[in-house]
Structure 1
């Protein structure tokens, strides 16, 4: 049997991997606690995560807002508008240890890329607030720009083609299991992200010298 291809490139999701994304951090102290708790509940009763997912898939805020008002009422719609307008407040920090890991990947000579489900209307905020993204990443595919969405195969294939990468020589880190599975379905090695320490271990297990 021939040896497995050597890993040459590392592809990173953004929210929950590189950046700490917290809706609560944007809303807490600005709206009633009970409302914030309801908006941030895991079962998404106010639809915030569903509406944002639509933006991540390429829809415009102005086109989604009528649905928010009809389904949730004017008050929740106004909070959603506030949230999008103050999106940087929902990104309080880079995930602990990730800037160091990214620098180690680059210094070791690997390609480093971004592949994120994110709205084209707010993605600039991430790069403005965290200049290390622009400094360290060789390129990024953004779902809302492409109107493609993880875990669909098309967005992984687009990233591979645009960056000139071989799937078998890449590893993709995401905190969401279905997105890792989507990468693996097109032949990319997948790592389910929990924290930077485990990510480093997972990369080393694949032969990445970090």
Structure 2
């Protein structure tokens, strides 16, 4: 595997290409104490749990009754607002990442997307940041495929659809279990920190920019 040159680089979206901040969507629109509780790492209001279900392919309309039953109508209505205004949770592309994609393309490397994201909200990413749509050669979205990182099948689908050799691919994700999932199917999975560190990791694998 180490002897095969890297030809393609695959990127997660939120936390890698895009800054994703639930607080950016809700802050100033709902009381601070409510927003703080929703955004706690322990996920007491279940926002990240319900969103993960959507990322795996479930529809908002099917999940919403569970949100009402488990969290109450007031919190459920905030979750509805969050999903309907999801673009506000995407304040920017992460520094240096558009430039990295452009450099990779300019040097002949393939650049691809592989993301856990709901089919109902993914359109916001390319609508708000059309340059990403221009730069990426293709993207696999979990909610469309009803497959989900870190399970092997979504990586294998991306490889097959894009015509890629796993041993010649690098995959960046900000979640360790998703990096492990990529490694298990033979992709060079790397934990994303920032654009500079990504460039250094690629250089260590022989990518010349």
* TM > 0.5: yes
Cα displacement string for residues 170-192 of structure 1 (whole angstroms, at most 9, x for unaligned residues): 00000000000000000000110
The 5-angstrom pairing of residues 129-208 of structure 1 reads 129-208=128-207
2:93 equivalent in structure 1: 94
Q: Structure 1 length as normaliser, TM-score?
A: 0.98
| TM superposition shift of 1:3 | 6.4
Cα displacement string for residues 121-162 of structure 1 (whole angstroms, at most 9, x for unaligned residues): 011110000011111000000000000000000000000000
2:119 equivalent in structure 1: 120
CA distance in 2, matches of 1:4, 1:45: 47
Cα displacement string for residues 39-92 of structure 1 (whole angstroms, at most 9, x for unaligned residues): 000000000000000000000000000100000000110000000000000000
RMSD: 0.9
| TM superposition shift of 1:209 | 1.2
- SS of equivalent to 2:10: strand
CA distance in 2, matches of 1:56, 1:139: 18
Tell me the number of residue pairs that the alignment of Structure 1 and Structure 2 aligns.
209
Structure 2's unaligned 5+ residue stretches are: none
